[in-house]
Structures are given as C-alpha cells and as structure tokens.
Amino acid sequence: MSTLAQEVHPSALVDPSAELAAGVRVGPNAVIGAGVRLGEGTEIGAGAQVVGPDTIVGRENRIFPYSCIGFDPQDLKFEGEDSKLVIGDRNLFREFSTVNRGTGFGGGVTEIGSDNLFMAYSHVAHDCHVGDRCVFTNCATLAGHVTVHDDATIGAFSAVHQFTRVGRHAYIGGYTVLTMDALPYVKTVGQKPACYGLNSIGLRRKGVAPDARRRLGEAMRFLLSSGLNTSQALEKIRAELSGHEEIDYLVEFIEGSERGFVKAPPGKRGERGGGGE
C-alpha cells in the first residue's frame, strides 16, 4: 500500500464525501466536490474545480489551474439524473479546459482514456468517449455524443458535431468544422472539410510500421483517388489488403459510419462518403 502523503492547501474546499487517494495534491482555492474520487498521485491546480457526483479520476492526472471537470452537461434535456464522468490515468488538462458528465439520454457516462493532452480552453461535452494518447489543441471542442479513437489529434479552434466519430491516428487541422466522420489515419482539414491524404508524419511519430503505412497508403488510394465509389473501393481493399489489423479496422470504421465521412480531395470540399455508395 502506498504511503505517499496527501497535500491539500488550507484554502482548498474539499467535500467530506470526496475520496482522495495517496499522493493527491490539491492547490490553493481548488474545489473538490461531493462524490469525487481522485486516484493516486493526481494533482489539482490552483482554482481548478472537480465536481460530481460520480466523477472518477484515475492515477497521476494533472488538472491545471481553473479547469472545470465534472460539471453538469450543457444540455437542455438534462434534468439532474444520475450521470458520470470517468477519466483514466496520466492525462493533462491544461488551463480552463472543461469536461462535462453524461446524460440519461446519451447513456449516462462521459469517458476519457489515458495519456491524453487537453490544451487550454479545450472542451469535451456530455456523453463523449475519448480513447488514449489523443491531443486536443487549444480551444478544440467536442459537442455531445462524439467518439474519438486512440491517437487522434484535434486541431486548434476545431469543432466536432454531435454523434460524429474521429478515427484512430486521425489528424483534424486547425479551425476545422467537422460534421461528418473523420477517417482514421488521414488528415481532415477545413471549415468545409477535405481529406489531405495519409497522416504519414503522425504515423511515423507514433511508431506505425512501414509495411502498415504502405498498406494504408494503398487503401487510401483506392478510397480517395481511384475514381471508385466507396462500395467499389471497399471491395478492392478487402480483396487486396484485408487480414491486417489496421486495414480491417479502417473497413469496419467506414462500414459503421452513420453520418457519412469526409473523403473529398482539397479541390472538392464537402463531398461525403458512405458505405452504401
């Protein structure tokens, strides 16, 4: 059992029902609300607020000054029903970032994985699900019910529409307005978004093997620049590239799209794709 001491500044307000594990540090004027659970080694900065009920924060997170974590959802349908926010380990929530709990309509839970970076003024709304190792740049905003898969990057001042999905290793450029799904492994950019091809630099930085990058490049050629429609492109991808984890995930992501996905080249912004084409 850890013997690390807690450090709670005298000016901090910590509800008696909150659970603080060993090694938790709470800075000046911070607020920890009723029903909050903070995992071992988590640090709450000056003036930050972590409220509940049922806000669960894992180990070794850093919540920087004036962040607001676990507040009620910004949804007029919310009527005070039970809802949760569950956060994994080693996340960084920079200054003035905000994360809301879920709603009964949306399943009741907002979930954030581990090792993510939320830069200043970023926002995660109710019922969102964020994976691991994602980066939210300054003022990146998720509306409700958004799903962001592992290793994605959401650029500065970007806005992601309700019920939209962002795939693994996707790169969403700054100031993008995303109203359809963003394909995994590629760069999606613009107020009328276009697809700028494989996120080659990001994939190399994250250690994706050269053979996997080559297969993904071939798949994107079929999907984006071959002149085939989506159904035809998927047939080619299955016939020539299937049986590899990253390709199988790409096909599954496309077939699961309900809003359609961005596939237009830069010269034809706004074109959408979908599994039924």
Residue 127 appears among annotated catalytic residues: yes
CA distance 17 to 22: 16
- Nearest residue to 274 (alpha-carbon basis) of 237, 231, 221: 231
**Residue 10: cis peptide before it, omega within 30 degrees of 0:** no
Q: Which residue is catalytic, options 127, 150, 151, 181?
A: 127
Residue 149 appears among annotated catalytic residues: no
CA distance 21 to 126: 26
Residue 123 appears among annotated catalytic residues: no
Q: Which residue is catalytic, options 126, 129, 149, 169?
A: 126
State both tokens at 190.
């613009």
Cβ count within 10 A of residue 60: 16
Q: Which residue is catalytic, options 23, 106, 144, 155?
A: 144
Q: Are 82 and 64 in contact (CB under 8 A)?
A: no
Q: Cα Rg for the chain, rounded, in angstroms?
A: 20
Please tell me the total number of residues recorded for the chain in this structure.
277
Q: Which residues are catalytic?
A: 126-127, 144
